[in-house]
Amino acid sequence: MDSDAERGILTGKSAPEEKKPKLPVAKILEESIVRMNPAKLISNPVMFVVELTFFLVGIMAIDPTLFPVVSSGSEQVFYVYVAVILGITVWFSTLSDSIAEAQIRATASNLRKIEQEVKAKKLDGDRKVTEVSSKDLRKGDMILIEKGDGIPIDCEVLEGLAMVDESLLTGESALVKKAPSDVLIGGSILMSDSLVALVSVNPEETYLSKLISMVESSKRPKTPNETAISILLLGLTVIFTIIVAAILWLSIELNLGVDLSVLIALYVCLLPTTIGALLPAIGISGINRMSRDRIIAKSGKSIEAAGDTDSLLLDKTGTITFGNRMATEFIPLGGHSAREVGEASFLSSWNDDTPEGRSIIDLAFREGFVPKEFSSIGRAESMEFSAVTRMSSVKLEDADDFHLPKGGRDILQRRRVRRKYLNPDSGVELEISKGAPDAIKGSVPECPEGFDSTVTEISSSGDTAMGVTVGDEIVGIIRLKDKLKPGIREKIESVKVMGIKPLMITGDQPETARNIASEVGIDNFVSRAKPETKFTVVREEQQGGKVVAMIGDGTNDAPALAAADVGLAMATGTMAAKEAANLVDLESNPAKIIDVVMLGKQLLMTRGAVTTFSISNDIAKYFAIVPIMFASLSVLQKINILGLSPHVAVLAALIFNAAIIPALIPLAMKGTRFKPRSTMSIFLRNAVTYGLGGIALPFIGIEAIGLLLRLTFGGSL
């Protein structure tokens, strides 16, 4: 999914798994007409002014005598043409809004399908089940979810262990394991076992409803750049109003023979109608693409801020690598055997349900390193991995009694174990720890020869080393291999060429970190990071005036997420993290932060490109209309470089001006295409395409339309 999303953003195509919804044409047409109501159009000053001119020329067309001096009765047919084109210009603008809105409604209804009302099994104080509708659940309620049930609402697992299908939300078909304190998202389906969960939100506050309301909200707040563009457009409208009013005034005073309809045509051509018509659609399409990527933006500001990112903090695990490192080798040290290491690792990992832990058990089984102390493992006291000590350990107090562990491994393996360890020795107390090499090293009085060199060797080959102690002696090292996420190297490369500094954060050894970093092309990394390191790093980066983006999911990440300019939290993360972040990813795919950055950039570029294009267009329109505008000044024909006759020139310019709006709707919806390059070369490319292109295109376009008009109407124009 993530590579698809990536491609989607970079090429402007929507993610393929999201079938392009069929847009309701009739509804769009109807709505676009309704939107032409001046009272509704007033929020878009440029188009509102165009509509006023439409009414004005409309009146001229009906009765030219109402406007003495500046109109003539013989031009009545021409006024009709002008009025019609002005009307169509306004309609094109409302049409682009309607299409954008229709698209987003389609997205919303797709999401709504997921959010359907379901029956929930609510537990009361005595654990009695009552069936209620998911709509009636409140925050703090306890619910029972059984195999096959849809998760009614966002909640947190209290008891049980089960597999969940989140594919409706994420499109990811692999089942996800959920254990106590994990987060369940409403709309996913429980595929095995049963869970007791605590409802964490009220129905109207679920992430899905937040996403839907973000999509549907008509009161979508403008981003700072959108506001600034609106101001610029208003300013340009005022300037052109002053100019046109002055021309009209002077024309009357100096008898220049200007026709009001021609002047209005010039006015409308000069107004930034292209960007004025498309600005709302660009904003809506941005939100739409975010929602297709299942990202909730708490404000439009954060999407734009993402485009400004200078420093990108990436967690190694989950973002750059899959994180489920697999044990591949037990390396004995200090006179111990591989078997001893394997058996110790086995014991210390039995209660470790992380992918690493399971891979260690698997490897030990495959090598036949099953320890005799296995019998007492059921009563062992285990200390889970802690981010502070960066170790986990198990203490076997009474290793003589054998209990077959419940559940777990297959029956054959269990039989083998039973045969081997039926009568163990008694009374051995044993403490086994495993963990990060430096933590392990610090926990024992002396370190065996070869420990450091082995750790360095493992780290420098990009793998992870894990030390194992028995009692207070290091017996060996486990080698774990990590796997890079597909396509991550290319993504990081594209981030780098755009001038964004990727920064990798990991709890790993410096050597391991350096290795992974160099493999994916990251120059800066922080290794042996503790949870609070992220916050420090964010602050340090911001000191230099950088805009920092990061991802996070744990409560520990919350301060850093809040401090970062762009914080993307995983939906499966803790509540604190999600509250602190300004973006939440429902798919919980950390690598998506890169896509968010690209989307932010693309939105900014699209707005800038259409604005520049719109302003550049005006040059040609001046050259088309001004030479023929002053009827009494025939000498101006010398600068009529397009060589169009008055009526043809005015109509051609107006038609070009109107037609460019629908022509650019796809650009507004999909965004300008861009390949990751340096900021300056992206800028130059856009400046040439939309700036210089914006100057040249209308000359060609108006001339071509003029030619067509002459061919169609002959001399009647």
Residues annotated as catalytic (active site), given as ranges: 315
Does residue 629 interact with other proteins by CB under 8 A? yes
Does residue 253 interact with other proteins by CB under 8 A? yes
Specify the DSSP element, H or E, that contains 659.
helix 646-670
Does residue 690 interact with other proteins by CB under 8 A? yes
Taking each helix axis from N to C end, the angle separating 76-114 and 646-670, rounded to the nearest 10 degrees, works out to: 10
Q: Within positions 635 to 654, which residues make up the interface with other proteins, using CB under 8 A?
A: 635-636, 638-639
Choose one: 91-99, 372-380, 421-429, 674-682; the region binding other proteins (CB under 8 A): 674-682
Q: Within positions 136 to 175, which residues make up the interface with other proteins, using CB under 8 A?
A: none
Q: Within positions 534 to 553, which residues make up the interface with other proteins, using CB under 8 A?
A: 544-547
What DSSP character marks residue 423? S
From the list 52, 132, 256, 697, which residue makes contact with other proteins (rule: CB under 8 A)? 256
CB of 660 to other proteins, least distance (A): 17
Does residue 674 interact with other proteins by CB under 8 A? yes
Name the residue nearer to other proteins (CB basis): 692 or 707. 692
Name the residue nearer to other proteins (CB basis): 480 or 548. 548
Does residue 132 interact with other proteins by CB under 8 A? no
| Contacts of 518 by beta carbon, 8 Å cutoff, 6+ apart | none
CB of 595 to other proteins, least distance (A): 14
Half-sphere CA count of 672, side-chain side, radius 13 A = 24
CA 521 remoteness from chain centre: 23
Name the residue nearer to other proteins (CB basis): 53 or 512. 53
Name the residue nearer to other proteins (CB basis): 146 or 308. 308
CB of 26 to other proteins, least distance (A): 36
**What are the beta bridge partners of residue 584?**
296, 569
Site string for other proteins, 391-410 (x = CB under 8 A): --------------------
Does residue 29 interact with other proteins by CB under 8 A? no
Helices (H) and strands (E) in the chain, counts: 25, 22
CA distance 516 to 514: 6
CA distance 25 to 102: 9
Question: Is the separation of the CB atoms in 389 and 433 below 8 Å?
Answer: no
Choose one: 83-91, 251-259, 478-486, 581-589; the region binding other proteins (CB under 8 A): 251-259
**What are the beta bridge partners of residue 130?**
122
**Residue 484 to residues 61, 182, 322, 517, 570: CA-CA distances in angstroms?**
69, 25, 6, 11, 20
Question: Is the separation of the CB atoms in 555 and 574 below 8 Å?
Answer: yes
CB of 628 to other proteins, least distance (A): 12
**Residue 277 to residues 449, 666, 712: CA-CA distances in angstroms?**
73, 13, 29
From the list 23, 29, 62, 246, which residue makes contact with other proteins (rule: CB under 8 A)? 246
Choose one: 248-256, 338-346, 437-445, 555-563; the region binding other proteins (CB under 8 A): 248-256
- Of the candidates 465, 435, 434, which has an alpha carbon nearest to the alpha carbon of residue 452? 465
What DSSP character marks residue 321? B
Q: Within positions 483 to 502, which residues make up the interface with other proteins, using CB under 8 A?
A: 498-499
CA distance 291 to 586: 10
CA distance 280 to 328: 55
Q: Within positions 565 to 624, which residues make up the interface with other proteins, using CB under 8 A?
A: 601-602, 604-605, 607-609, 611-612, 615-616, 618-619, 622
Beta strands in 305-359 (DSSP E): 311-315, 326-332
Q: Which pair of tokens denotes residue 574?
A: 């803790």
Q: Which pair of tokens denotes residue 559?
A: 């301060």
**Residue 684 to residues 107, 229, 567, 689: CA-CA distances in angstroms?**
34, 21, 30, 8
Name the residue nearer to other proteins (CB basis): 144 or 696. 696
Name the residue nearer to other proteins (CB basis): 235 or 643. 235
Does residue 178 interact with other proteins by CB under 8 A? no
Does residue 228 interact with other proteins by CB under 8 A? yes
Q: Within positions 296 to 355, which residues make up the interface with other proteins, using CB under 8 A?
A: 304-305, 307-308, 310
Choose one: 31-39, 336-344, 391-399, 631-639; the region binding other proteins (CB under 8 A): 631-639
**Which DSSP string do the residues of 103-129 spell out, in sequence order?**
HHHHHHHHHHHHT---EEEEE-TT--E
Size of the site for other proteins (CB under 8 A): 66
Question: Is the separation of the CB atoms in 168 and 189 below 8 Å?
Answer: yes
Q: Which pair of tokens denotes residue 77?
A: 């047919």
Binding residues for other proteins (CB under 8 A): 224-225, 227-228, 231-232, 234-236, 238-239, 242-243, 246-247, 249-250, 253-256, 270, 304-305, 307-308, 310, 498-499, 544-547, 601-602, 604-605, 607-609, 611-612, 615-616, 618-619, 622, 626-627, 629-630, 633, 635-636, 638-639, 674, 679-680, 682-684, 686-687, 690-691
